[in-house]
Amino acid sequence: MTGRHPTDPSDPSSPHGPEPRQAAYTEARWPMAGAVIAAVVLTLLLPDDLRLGPRWALPLAEGLLLVALIAGDPVRISRRSAAMRAASIALVSVLACGAIWSTAQLIDDLIHGGTETNSADALLQAGGSVWISSVLTFSLLYFELDSGGAAARAHHMPTTPDLAFPQHLSPEVKPAHWRPRYIDYLYLGLTNSTAFSPTDVMPLAPWAKIVMAIQSLVSLVILGLIIARAVNVLA
């Protein structure tokens, strides 16, 4: 006697057959890793007064967290664990702290005057780095928070997502087993920073509406002040 019920779905001899496991539709790790590396490089290119902490502090923390994620779940994102989830959230949090600090310092320099705001070239380089960093940071934030993160989405897509992509709103154009990938969230971050509003992706969850609103306001302030200051310097 094995103690197994004769109609147990997990029993191969069951008339119903073995219970099928749900397939995981995973995503490659490299797009997300590439975005983090690009954000680290942009941090290193920032002037000292726009960078949070010593020059090496944020890149070191971000690099260590990225290495931990790659070591724990290399090649493709599929492993669901509390430790991996905590490392992912910690990485995005560090990136967000750095981006928020740089944005605040740049806005302060634009309003009150700073070393990089007296030259159009230096201003555009610093402002462009901060703006691109914010796009990457918000894209990674959407990537990690939407529907429980990439690993959770690989195993199960909820019927009511946090962010509604066109494939959700028009299922007839959705390929089989479709999942949003990092490129989808990067596109969301870019369009939300340039249009200052949702374009093709609709925020459904409260956190998504708040984050998208914050990103739109941050981008509007950065671009508006940079353009105004650059015109003033050139004039």
* Tens digit of each residue's pLDDT (9 = 90 or more) over 136-180: 999 999 999 999 888 889 888 888 889 999 988 888 888 888 889
Q: Which residues contact 132 (CB under 8 A, 6 or more apart)?
A: 38, 42
Phi, psi at 164, each rounded to 5°: -95, 110
Position 213 scores a pLDDT of 94
Q: What is the pLDDT of residue 11?
A: 41
**156-165: long-range contacts, CB 8 A cutoff, minimum separation 24:** 156/22, 160/204, 161/204, 162/203, 162/204, 162/205, 162/207, 162/208, 163/188, 163/201, 163/202, 163/203, 163/204, 163/205, 163/208, 164/201, 164/202, 164/203, 164/204, 165/200, 165/201
Determine the pLDDT at residue 68.
93
DSSP bridge pairs for 77: 27
Q: List the one residue out of 144, 175, 180, 128 whose CA is nearest residue 36.
A: 144
What phi, psi does 163 have (nearest 5°)? Answer: -125, 125
Residues 6+ apart with CB under 8 A from 146: 153, 161, 162, 163, 180, 185, 208
- Pairwise CA distance, residues 6 & 13, whole Å: 8
What is the torsional sign of CA 191, 195, 197, 202? negative
pTM of the model: 0.84
Distances from the Cα of 135 to the Cα of 26, 90, 169, angstroms = 24, 18, 24
pLDDT of 94: 95
DSSP run (H or E) holding 69: helix 57-72
Q: What is the DSSP letter of 77?
A: E
Cα 84 to Cα 123: distance, rounded to the nearest angstrom: 38
**Cα-atom radius of gyration of the chain, to the nearest Å?**
22
Domain boundaries, the chain: 27-234
User: For residue range 203-213, what is the model confidence (pLDDT) as tens digits?
Assistant: 999 999 999 99
Q: What is the pLDDT along the chain (235 residues), one digit of tens a residue?
A: 334 434 333 444 444 444 345 567 888 999 999 999 999 999 888 888 888 888 888 999 999 999 999 999 888 888 888 899 999 999 999 999 999 999 998 888 888 776 766 777 788 888 889 999 999 999 999 999 999 888 889 888 888 889 999 988 888 888 888 889 999 999 999 999 998 888 889 999 999 999 999 999 999 988 888 877 777 766 6
